[in-house]
Amino acid sequence: MHLANLALHRHLLQEAPMSNSLEPKKSGVAKDINDVSYVEVEQPGPASLGKQSLGFWVTFKTMFKKNLSVQYPDVKAPTEERFHGRHQLNRHPDGLEKCIGCELCAWACPADAIYVEGGDNTPGNQVSPGERHGAVYQINYLRCIFCGLCVEACPTRALTMTNEYELADDSREKLIFEKQDLLAPLRAGMVMPPHPMYPDMDENNYYRNEVKSADPSQGPIFDGTTAGEAK
Amino acid sequence: MTTAQLLGQDPGWLVVLKAVLVFVICVVSTLMAVWTERRVLAKMQQRTGPNRVGPFGLLQSLSDGVKLALKEDIIPAAADKVVFIAAPIIAAAMCFMSFAVIPMTGVVTIFGRETAMQLTDIPVGVLYILAVTSIGVYGVVLAGWSSGSTYPLLGGLRSSAQVISYEVAMGLSLVAVFIYAGSMSTSDIVASQHENIWNVVVLFPSFVIYVISMVGETNRAPFDLAEAEGELVGGFHTEYSSLKFALFFLAEYVNIIAVSALATTLFLGGYHALPGLGFTEAWLGGWFGIVWFFLKVNLFFFIFMWLRASLPRLRYDQFMKFGWKVLIPASLIWIMVVASLRVIQQNGASRTVALAFALGIVVIVMAISTVFEKSKEAARKPLPDGAAPDFPLPQLPGVSSFNASSQSRTTQAPTSGGTNE
């Protein structure tokens, strides 16, 4: 009789909890699956009535402890710093979009929640530095699992996640976020794209963080006061 | 004048008024009970519980009830329509009926008439409650059967088996009370406790058995196997929605309050004040008794909540084993003891004789249980090493010596055949 079978047999025959049982010894790596040695392990027996009734004391005591509930809609507890919330499409310091429409985020997405269509940058329609920009950008928050693989995949750091977690809504359409819902707001010192790249700079300068703010030649610089222009 | 005689003089309008009052008390205390349970349970789990609708969330259960009533009422295509509709009505109506014989105050005056806050007083009041709650089981069984679906059927069967089993233990635990009070009328039992001492002191084992079986009787945690969510979805009311579901919900809570009220009446002295606080009973023209009554009922309700917060659900076989093999034998033995003691007392034996008898019983019970435990331990001896099973075992990965015993048996077979020739 093999020892393993014997242990099983014991287990099947005894209705009461066993005082001892056989468990594989955790020493070294067994070469053969059958080559397992067993050791006897102490199992806790049934607890006494006194020990069992301790649970009543626990629940009673808990009544007088401080509540841990957060009164959510009134009080909003801050999330952890790196909480995975709604996505954001970032901008370069002069306001040009970082997204280049490469679709790597869409390919990385395990839930197939992202849809991207790239578009060409033309002299009259320069949305991002370089040749291409994201013309259509959608994230379906009914599919998104907030794993952050898209953020890891993004080559230009265009896609990051915010801490915003209030993403409930009452229709499927409303939960497909378009590019304008995801884009970071225009900050002071930026120019609303499309506008030409910084004078005498190309996309490589942008990626090396050499563009610090917009130049007046690129267009009217946003002073951060008119809130309507942020979207 | 006894309470029965007093109640016999009630004019019709007073009976109707009291019936309405009983109904209102049941419904309002259900609403309060749901709120209290959610709050206390939340407290026990370090949460806040419902606190938004009304002050302290007090109106939460009311708004839930209104919401439930306004929901779409679905009757499954496979359901037996008549029975499906009748079942929740039976379940709810029976719970209210059991409240009719519960005495809530002593003698009080309602619009100039002397009466007691009790709808009626019948000589077999407690038996009437048992009978009415038994009929309530029909609601559960019929709901499970008429839904035309698997889980409700299983849940209904479970819960009826459960209620019937625990009703036996409950009934037996009440026998000791009848023996001591010499009556089955609820008001007489309360009066006898007032004259002597509360039954919870004298008949403590009965009290414990009653409290356990009342939890089993009402399908509450840890005995809520009938609606074990993981196994049976919602149990017998899985297919119910809207008002019909609300009726079951109402029935459950009224039932809890009813068994708590019965426990108060039979063991905790009913509407009477705690010993030493008897002067409070005269307050508000005798109406203060209702405060004491509901304080005691709430004590039981707290036990219900506490159990629910502390204990995991029992397995069905453990539950049945506990009911039939522990509670019922225990209460049978206890009734024997009580009856014997009562006879000894009534025949004028001295207190020492009675005490010696009680002690003797305790010693005998302890001796029997010790012997029983010893024999159980002996039967639990581990198998000798190398003992081969005589049934096939599932194959473990890569084990070549699988079913060694059956192989040896097949090799032995020809030899045994040879001896037969």
pLDDT tens digits for range B172-186: 999 989 988 888 888
Compute the average pLDDT of residues B21-48: 90
When pLDDT is cut at 50, 70 and 90, the band that residue A5 belongs to is: low
Confidence class for position A146, pLDDT limits 50, 70, 90: very high
A47 and chain B: CB distance < 8 Å anywhere?
no
Q: Which of B38, B40, B41, B46 to mutate to test the interface with A (most CBs of A within 10 A)?
A: B46
User: Encoding tokens for residue A58?
Assistant: 């626990």
Q: Token pair for residue A158? A: 């265009």
pLDDT at A23: 54
Query: What value of ipTM does the predicted structure carry?
Result: 0.71
What tokens does A222 get? 């946003």
Choose among B47, B309, B401: nearest Cβ to A59: B309
Q: Of the spans A184-193, B105-114, B344-353, which averages the highest pLDDT?
A: A184-193
- Contact of B318 with chain A, judged by CB distance below 8 Å, is answered with no
What number of other Cβ atoms are within 10 A of residue B123's Cβ? 11
Helices B81-98, B125-146: inter-axial angle, 10-degree rounding: 160
Closest CA to B251 of B236, B268, B239: B236
Q: What pLDDT is attached to residue B233? A: 74
Structure tokens at B257: 């309050």
For residues B4 and B115, is the Cβ–Cβ distance under 8 A?
no
* Inter-chain residue contact A12 with B404, CB threshold 8 Å: no
**Per-residue model confidence (pLDDT) at position B415:** 42
Cα gap B220→B313, rounded to integer Å: 9
Contact indicator for A184, A164 with CB cutoff of 8 Å: no
* Residue B187: pLDDT band with limits 50, 70, 90: confident
What Cα–Cα distance (Å) separates residue B414 from each residue in B273, B406, B409, B411, B419?
Answer: 84, 14, 10, 7, 9
Only one residue has tokens 């225009």, namely: A186
Q: Do A199 and A94 touch, CB atoms closer than 8 A? A: no
Closest CA to A230 of A177, A165, A185, A190: A185
Range name among A2-6, A206-210, B69-73, B78-82 with the lowest pLDDT average: A2-6
How much is the pLDDT for A229?
46
* More reliable by pLDDT, B407 or A99: A99
- CB-CB neighbors (< 8 A) of A67 in chain B: 43, 46-48
Average of per-residue pLDDT across B196-219:
87
Confidence (pLDDT) at B416: 41
B346 exposure class (CB count in 10 Å sphere: 0-12, 13-18, 19+): exposed
Any A CB within 8 A of B389 CB? yes
Q: Label residue B400 by pLDDT band (50, 70, 90).
A: low
Query: Given pLDDT bands bounded at 50, 70 and 90, which one contains residue B406?
Result: very low
What does each C-alpha distance from A8 to A3, A12, A18, A24 come to in angstroms?
A: 9, 6, 12, 13
pLDDT value, residue A83:
92
Taking 60 as the threshold, does the pLDDT of residue B55 lie above it?
A: yes
- Cβ <8 Å between A33 and B397: yes
The residue ranking higher by pLDDT, A101 or B159, is: A101
Q: Is B396 an interface residue toward A (CB < 8 Å)?
A: yes
For chain B, give the mean pLDDT. 83
The residue type found at A171 is S
pLDDT digits (tens, 9 = 90+) for A7-51: 555 555 554 444 455 555 555 554 566 665 666 666 676 667 777
pLDDT (mean) for B36-57 = 89
Q: For the segment A170-227, what is each residue's pLDDT rounded down to a tens digit?
A: 999 999 999 999 999 988 889 988 899 998 888 899 999 888 888 888 888 887 776 5
In 3D space, the residue among B310, B304, B327 whose CA is nearest the CA of residue B220 turns out to be B304
The number of angstroms, rounded, from the C-alpha of A107 to the middle of its chain's C-alpha atoms is 16
pLDDT in tens, B229-275: 667 777 888 888 888 999 988 888 998 999 999 999 999 888 888 87
Are the beta carbons of B9 and B107 closer than 8 angstroms?
no
Mean pLDDT of all residues in B383-398? 66
What pLDDT is stored for residue B409 in this prediction? 43
Query: Given an 8 Å threshold on Cβ–Cβ distance, is A68 in contact with B386?
Result: no
Identity of the residue in B47, B385, B404 whose CB atom sits nearest the CB atom of A68:
B47
pLDDT for A161 equals 94
- What amino acid occupies position B375? S
- Which run of H or of E encompasses A87? strand A87-89
Question: What's the average model confidence in pLDDT over B390-404?
Answer: 61
pLDDT tier, A134 (very low <50, low <70, confident <90, very high otherwise): very high
pLDDT of residue B404: 45
Give the residue from chain B lying closest to A15, CA to CA.
B380
Q: What percent of chain B has pLDDT over 70?
A: 89
Residue % of chain A over a pLDDT of 70? 77
Fold classification of A87-230 is: Alpha-Beta Plaits (3.30.70)
User: Cis ω on the peptide bond leading into residue B88 (within 30° of 0)?
Assistant: no
* Token couple for B279: 């002067």
| Average model confidence (pLDDT) across chain A | 82
B199 neighbors B180 (Cβ within 8 angstroms) = yes
C-alpha span between B90 and B4 (Å, rounded): 28
Instruction: Tell me how far apart the terminal alpha carbons of chain A are, to the nearest angstrom.
Output: 76
Confidence of residue B410 (pLDDT cuts 50, 70, 90): very low
pLDDT band at A115 (very low <50, low <70, confident <90, very high): very high
Is residue A37 classed as helix, strand or coil in its secondary structure? coil
The Cα of B23 is separated from the nearest Cα of chain A by a number of Å equal to 32
A175/B417: higher pLDDT: A175
Contact A1 B46 (CB under 8 A): no
CB A121 within 8 A of CB A131: yes
Cα distance between residue A115 and residue A96, in whole Å: 21
Statement: residue B107 has pLDDT above 90? no
Residue B43 structure tokens:
């407290």
Q: Which position has the higher pLDDT, B297 or B362? A: B297
Going from N- to C-terminal start, the domains of chain A cover 3-42, 87-230
Q: Does residue B397 or residue A11 have the better pLDDT?
A: B397
With a pLDDT cut of 90, the percent of chain A lying above it is 43
DSSP string computed for B244-295: HHHHHHHHHHHHHHHHHHHHHHHHS-TTPPPTT-GGGGGGGGGTTHHHHHHH
Tokens of B90: 């039976």
The segment with the largest mean pLDDT, out of A158-172, A209-223, B317-331, is A158-172
B-contacting residues in A 175-194 (Cβ below 8 Å)? none
CB contact, 8 Å: A66 with chain B?
Answer: yes
Which secondary-structure segment (H or E) carries A117? strand A114-120
**What pLDDT digit, counting tens, does each position of B361-372 carry?**
888 888 888 888
Q: Between chains, do A59 and B399 touch, taking CB under 8 Å as contact?
A: no
How far does CA B145 lie from the centroid of its chain? Answer: 23
Smallest CA-to-CA distance from A101 within A120, A87, A88, A86 is with A120
Q: What is the pTM of this model?
A: 0.72
Residue B75 has pLDDT above 80, yes or no: yes
Closest CA to B237 of B253, B249, B221: B249
pLDDT value of position B151: 86
Name the residue with higher pLDDT: B29 or B10: B29
Which residues, 6 or more positions from B45, have their beta carbon under 8 angstroms from its beta carbon? A62, B309
How buried is residue B238: exposed, middle or buried, by Cβ count under 10 Å (0-12/13-18/19+)? buried
